[in-house]
Structure 1
Amino acid sequence: MISDSKYRIRARVLPDGEPMTIYGREAWCLERLMAAGSRGCTPIEQPAPRWSAYVHDLRHKFGLVIETIHEPHAGPFAGSHARYVLRSEVEIVPEPVEGLV
């Protein structure tokens, strides 16, 4: 069971997706992706322990379309990193109020 105190958001895919409740780091990740828009997010710009896992869950548990762009980076540990771009159009919906139908 998930505690009521755990961070969560309710969202839906436009135009007619059903509301879904997303918890914890996946909710945090979705908010970052929505705020970033078409420029997307990287773990370098938005540090978090497991970006790839959050994106995986948003794709596979919630059906969101998120593009992964691989970008090179220089420096003493040169290589590449991922930039994630939310391609689904998503809106945040209010939590239902208890007692109201």
Structure 2
Amino acid sequence: MNINVTLLGGDCPRRFILSGRIGQTLHRLHLAGKKGITPLESPALRLAAHVHSLRKMGFIIETEREPHGGAYPGYHALYTLVSGVSVGAA
């Protein structure tokens, strides 16, 4: 999956062509809006690593800890895209 992304804000917008899982992660964050996404929704995605890569590119992504039950209770991350972006197909 390749997507064109424009990171809005600041003096001049920055443009990226994101591919693979990084592109997929940003696309899912963008679609989720304020609801956010969690690794429980797609455990094979290596979500934390892709969020880290997006942050290094300059995207602002918030992390919130949420509790979960089940056989292995604990916490998981909820990631929400804060940066304004414009997303289109490459």
TM (norm. structure 1) is 0.79
Q: Structure 1: where are the runs of 5+ without partners?
A: 1-6, 96-101
Q: Contact 2:21–2:45 (CA<8 Å) still a contact in 1?
A: no
Structure scoring higher RCO (CA < 8 A, sep ≥ 6) equals 2
Deviates more, 1:10-19 or 1:48-57: 10-19
TM (norm. structure 2) is 0.88
2:52 matched residue in structure 1: 56
Q: Structure 2: where are the runs of 5+ without partners?
A: none
For the residues of structure 2 that align with 1:73 and 1:94, how far apart are their CA atoms?
A: 35
Runs ≥4 in structure 1, deviation > 2 angstroms?
46-49
Q: Judging changes above 3 Å, is the alpha-carbon distance between structure 1 residues 94 and 28 closer, same or farther for their aligned structure 2 residues?
A: closer
- Aligned-pair identity in percent equals 41
- The number of residues matched between the two structures is 88
1:68 matched residue in structure 2: 63
2:7 matched residue in structure 1: 13
Larger helix proportion of the pair? 2
Q: Deviations for 1:23-56, whole angstroms, at most 9, x for unmatched residues?
A: 2100000010001000100011233331000000
2:34 matched residue in structure 1: 38
Tell me the C-alpha RMSD between the 2 structures.
Answer: 1.5
Q: Contact 2:4–2:88 (CA<8 Å) still a contact in 1?
A: yes
Give the number of the structure whose alpha-carbon radius of gyration is greater.
1
Larger strand proportion of the pair? 2
Q: How far apart are 1:19 and its partner, in Å?
A: 1.3
